[in-house]
């Protein structure tokens, strides 16, 4: 009688977006303070900017819960009912991606004016500050330039380890105890690289009976980045094969 075949089935990813799930360090403390203090924004508008995967969407959801706001992608604005949308605080995501799209820029311009005219707040997210967006509608650019700016910086050591742990938890992964410290010492201080590493470990662990172990983390790191591109720790002992 043959043994039953075991199928490796990926578990669903459930991204935690609550305030309690947003780990605060020096890299993001100022931005978190500005978001939590949204009622004091000058002109009732702000721009949250930072690198890809830095937590802008997470922090936007935190703000939306605090302010009872609706979150919409900037690219969807021409299809939105702008007057209805402007009846509450609004977060518009990825505003830096709409430069040169006249219909989207005009929709955001009208939304901006209506939201503020009705006494509500407007949050916009982007990877860069408004001065670098290159909007082609001068009136919209000038209004964006007048917004308060909250910036998410590159992760420091504390945030790096916490982010790795959160991404594992989102994927219902319990790594070996030495995996997170190992990754935190070696992985680049880059949000996208951290996300990619966890995704690759998740996929690779499906075929490994020991799950996410340190040897597996070493294998995936070697595959994703040559050794010469990784930060080195001379005091770190050689890992067993």
Alpha helices in 177-213 (DSSP H): 179-186, 191-205
pLDDT at 15 (0 to 100): 52
Dihedral in degrees, nearest 10, Cα atoms 169, 174, 177, 180: -40
Domain ranges of the chain: 19-151, 157-227
Q: Which backbone phi and psi does 184 adopt, to 5 degrees?
A: -65, -30
Distance, CA of 199 to CA of 25 (rounded, Å): 24
Residue 31's pLDDT is what?
Answer: 92
188, burial (CB in 10 Å: exposed 0-12, middle 13-18, buried 19+): middle
**How would you write the pLDDT of the chain (241 residues) with one tens digit per residue?**
333 333 333 444 445 456 556 778 888 889 999 999 999 999 999 999 998 888 899 899 999 999 999 999 999 999 999 999 999 999 999 999 999 999 999 999 999 999 999 999 999 999 999 999 999 999 999 999 999 999 998 888 888 888 888 888 888 888 889 998 888 888 888 888 888 888 888 888 887 777 888 888 888 888 876 543 444 443 444 443 3
- Per-residue pLDDT, 113: 98
Which fold is adopted by the domain 19-151? Rossmann fold (3.40.50)
**The CATH number of domain 157-227 is 1.10.8:** yes
């Amino acid at each position: 009688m043959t043994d039953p075949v075991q199928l490796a089935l990926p578990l669903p990813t459930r991204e935690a977006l609550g305030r309690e799930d947003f780990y605060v360090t020096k890299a993001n403390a100022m931005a978190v303070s500005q978001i939590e203090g949204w009622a004091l924004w000058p002109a009732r508008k702000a721009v949250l900017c930072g690198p890809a995967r830095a937590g802008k969407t997470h922090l936007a959801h935190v703000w939306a819960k605090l302010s009872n706001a609706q979150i919409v992608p900037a690219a969807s604005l021409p299809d939105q009912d702008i007057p209805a949308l402007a009846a509450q605080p609004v977060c518009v995501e990825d505003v830096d991606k709409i430069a040169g799209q006249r219909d989207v820029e005009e929709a955001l311009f009208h939304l901006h004016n209506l939201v503020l005219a009705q006494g509500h707040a407007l949050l916009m997210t982007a990877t860069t500050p408004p001065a670098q967006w290159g909007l082609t509608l001068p009136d919209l650019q000038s209004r964006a330039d007048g917004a308060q700016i909250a910036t998410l910086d590159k992760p420091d050591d504390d945030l790096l380890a916490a982010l790795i742990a959160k991404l594992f938890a989102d994927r219902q992964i319990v790594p070996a105890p030495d995996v997170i410290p190992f990754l935190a010492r070696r992985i680049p201080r880059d949000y996208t690289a951290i996300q990619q590493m966890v995704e690759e470990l998740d996929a690779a662990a499906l075929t490994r009976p020991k799950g996410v172990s340190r040897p597996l983390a070493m294998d995936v790191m070697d595959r994703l980045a040559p050794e010469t591109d990784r930060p080195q720790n001379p005091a770190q002992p050689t890992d067993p094969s």
